Structure 1
């Protein structure tokens, strides 16, 4: 049971990190498009300004969807981490002397343990 939870947790963390990266990339594209929009506005190019405004609207919608997905994954991660801790807590009760507890490397795998809580790619508080 705990192996299944750990696999789901690892997948959720990977999806969360990817969603945060996408939010960051889309935000950068929005900043660039905003600069182009203001340049078109100063130049009086209404056609170009209209097309950029449509692009900004679409980018904003896509970014919001990624953000909502990241929020769902963050909630899922918290729930799965709690389930892992509950399993470990139940195991602590039944541990005999001489048995050792799971380390964070055992819970998440050695490569995943170093990434927990280090999602600084995203400027939104949910992705930090």
Structure 2
């Protein structure tokens, strides 16, 4: 297997893991919102036992969400590094290729790599779409 193919396989795997982690962050964020609504509803009724149980679940969900977020951040950094390695391999193997002959310049590719890992979400998890 060539270096170029190996890097592409690693890149596809990292992107797949990144997308999955982002999906999990969003799913867990919705669960946190639901549990928060339940917590406030129980808080109004004064049921301290239920409130405590929901608060514990909220803490666990928040911790799991943070772990997925950290994993996604690591994968995003790995994706950027692998994309740079792909560019390095291409530039070293195609020495005769002029920049005017290529369809994308290095600036276009760096913008593409930035947009592939930059994401937006309404709360503090800006990493995942």
Displacement of 1:118? 8.1
Counterpart pick for 1:17 among 16, 19, 27: 19
Counterpart pick for 1:69 among 68, 71, 95: 71
Say how many residue pairs are matched.
113
Aligned position for 2:58 = 56
Contact persistence 2:28–2:65 (CA under 8 A) = yes
Name structure 2 gaps, 5 residues minimum: 105-114
How many angstroms apart in 1 are the aligned matches of 2:91 and 2:55? 53
Displacement of 1:117? 2.4
Change (3 A) 1:66 1:54: same
Contact persistence 2:73–2:127 (CA under 8 A) = yes
Aligned position for 1:79 = 81
Change (3 A) 1:50 1:32: same
Name structure 1 gaps, 5 residues minimum: 104-115
TM normalised by structure 1 equals 0.79
